[in-house]
A and B are shown apart, each in its own frame.
Chain A
Amino acid sequence: MPNISSWKDWLLFGAIFAVLMFAAPAALSDFRLNLLGKFLALAILALGIDLIWGYTGMLSLGHGVFFGIGGYCMAMYLKLQVGAAGTYQTDLPDFMTWNGLTELPWFWKPMHHFSIAMLSAILAPALCATLLGLLTFRSRVQGVYFAIITQALALVASLLLIGQQPYTGGTNGITDYKAILGFDLADNSVQKGLYIATVLALGVSYVFCRWIVRSRLGKVLGAIRDAENRLRFLGYDPVGFKVFVFAISGALAGLAGALFVPQVGIISPSNVGIVPSIEMVIWVAVGGRGTLSGAILGTVLVNAARSGFSEQFPAFWLYFLGSLFISVVLFFPDGVIGALRYARDGFEKLARRKRSAVAEFEEVI
Chain B
Amino acid sequence: MPAVVLTIDGKEVQTEKGKTVLAAALEAGIYIPHLCRHPDLAPLGACRLCLVEIEGRPGPVASCTTPAEDKMVVKTRTPQQDRLRRLALELILAAHPPDCTACPKYLKCELQSLAQYLGITDQRLRRRQKPFPVNTGNPLFVHDFTRCILCGRCVQACNELRGAGVLNFVGRGRETHIGTAFGLPLAEAGCRFCGACVEACPTGALRDKEEALLPGKNRQEALVPCRSTCPAQIDIPRYVRYIKEGKYPEAAAVIREKVPFPAVLGRVCNHPCEANCRRGKVNAPVAIRELKRFAAARDDGRRKKNTRKPSSTGRRVAVVGAGPAGLTAAYCLARLGHGVTVFEALPLPGGMLRVGIPAYRLPKEILDAEIKEIEEAGVEIKTGAKVTSLDPLFKEGYSAVLVAAGTHRGQKLSIPGAGLPGVLTGVDFLRAVNLGAKVPLGKKVLVLGGGNVAFDCARVALRLGAAEVLLACLEPAENMLADPEEIVEAKEEGVVVYPSRTFTGIVDRGGRPAGVACREIRSFSFDEEGRLRLDVVEGSEHILPADTVIFATGQRPEVPPEFGLATGRGGVILADPETLSTGKEGVFAAGDAVTGTASVVAAVAAGRKAAAAIDRYLGGDAVIDEKLAPAEEPSPRLGREEGFAFLPRRQAPLAPAEERHAGFAEAACGLGEEDAREEARRCLQCDLRLKISPVKFWADYSLRK
A, B assembled together: no
Residues of A within 8 A of B (CB): none
Residues of B within 8 A of A (CB): none
